[in-house]
Amino acid sequence: MSSGLAVAVRELRHLPPVWRAPRRDPEVTRRLALDGINEMLAYCRANVAYFEAYPATLTSLDELADLPTLTKRQVLDAGVEAFYAPVGEYRTDVTSGTTGTRLSIRHDVSAYGYHGATVLRRFLRSGYRPWWRIAHIKPFPRPVRWFQRLGLFPRTVVGAGQAEAEIARQVLAVRPNLIMGYPVVLRAILRNLDDDQLARLRRSLRMVMTDSELLTDEVAQVLTDRFGVPVFDEYSAYEVLTVSTGCAAGAMHVDEDRVWLEILGDDGRPASDGTVGTVVVTHFRERAMPLPRYQLGDRAMILPGECPCGNRFRRMKLADGRTNAFITLPGGRRIYSGVFLSLAMYAPGVAECMIRQDAAGVITVHLVPEEPTDAGYAAAMRSFEAKFAELVGASVELRFARTDRIELTPGGKGRFVESEFSPAVPEPADVAETRG
């Protein structure tokens, strides 16, 4: 059986339990996750030399915190082959190189099939109907899936590397019921549609789905208001596939039937709910390349309490950006990318911004003004300086460079913060890539 057909069969087989899983009692979910982690650890010890010294069975999920974490850099330094397990069939994903390095990831057919079923769950729980037309904005072609050959989930891929006006034109031509894309590209579409075009788009549009970039509350509200439809976010990485997905109540629920998520504080220990820390994920169904306690390099928190949508999986909220996407102010304070995404929403006249800090600590703001004139650019600079000082509570010397478009990564995401500045403070761990 080919891996494509094998994955399809497993997706269909997994659909009934996958659909029921979010409504389980949380204690049952925790027990099943512990069982899954113990099975994965036993498999790791028996089949992957890197993990042969890992401890025996865990008696509680709390004991997971006693195991070491893994980073992308550790995997690369050890050699990815050291993490490959001897499974018969697997799929290979190669990260796009957004973080500067590429990593070849293997997912066994069963794990990928279960993941595919959770993706279908995401669509159907959002209210999407399988016959709705999709405009999917990506920098590379997407494979045609088995259900698309049957006319379900009809998708047109729009190249993300084109001029922004051309992307907007092609999306409009699809007459989509659903638009999927990175927030930076979706904002660009809105800037390139006039009122009549936007009204025409809204006649068919029913929802928007975002992924792979930090979606701040401000950006989510802008997309909701301008497109006039609900916005559903997704959080995922090539190494562990989907981590969490958005619901109708605006929350992000962890896919706890296939991954276990931890939030670690600066001391490396689990942080309390409501506290921002580093994201660590264990994809406990994986066998082809198991990566227990893998650091994704994002900052997030677990939200306490249950969600009114009825999904009983824990809720998470991405916070202020990647652990390595920051600039450092005089005195050592770090300002993460989430602040700059908010500035594009808060600062009048600013459409987009990208920040670079050189090795000497000089901060340059690459600014896209809403009004493409000299006067519009000058006004946007003044607005940005004032709002930045207000948000960080200090006056900071900034340089500006005018640009027409934010630079995109090889994976098509917005590149919002880069820094070569190395103050005498500990550096964060190497990070994984969000996928899309």
Q: Where are the domains of the chain?
A: 3-118+235-322, 326-415
* Closest to 337 in 3D by CA, of 215, 159, 161: 215
Distance between CA 257 and CA 160 in Å, rounded? Answer: 32
User: What beta strand segments (E) does 25-128 contain?
Assistant: 90-94, 104-108
SS3 32: helix
* Closest to 210 in 3D by CA, of 188, 232, 192, 189: 232
Distance between CA 18 and CA 5 in Å, rounded? Answer: 19
* Closest to 314 in 3D by CA, of 29, 20, 59: 29
The pLDDT value recorded for residue 297 is 82
The pLDDT value recorded for residue 414 is 66
The pLDDT value recorded for residue 424 is 60
Residue 178 backbone phi and psi in degrees, to 5? -135, 130
Number of residues assigned to the chain: 436
Task: Over range 174-179, report the average pLDDT.
Answer: 98
Each residue's pLDDT tens digit, 313-356 = 999 998 865 655 778 888 788 787 667 777 776 688 888 888 88
CATH fold match for the domains 3-118+235-322 and 326-415: no
| The CATH number of domain 3-118+235-322, selected from 3.40.50.12780, 3.20.20.80, 3.90.25.10, 3.20.10.10 | 3.40.50.12780
Task: Over range 302-322, report the average pLDDT.
Answer: 89
Average confidence score pLDDT of the chain: 87
**Domain 326-415 belongs to what topology?**
GMP Synthetase; Chain A, domain 3 (3.30.300)
pLDDT at 33 over 60: yes
Distance between CA 9 and CA 262 in Å, rounded? Answer: 31
Residue 49's pLDDT band (boundaries 50, 70, 90)? Answer: confident
pTM: 0.80
Each residue's pLDDT tens digit, 59-90 = 999 999 999 999 988 998 999 999 999 887 88
| Pairing verdict, β 417-419 and 350-357 | parallel
The pLDDT value recorded for residue 257 is 97
Q: Contact, 297 vs 428, CB < 8 A?
A: yes
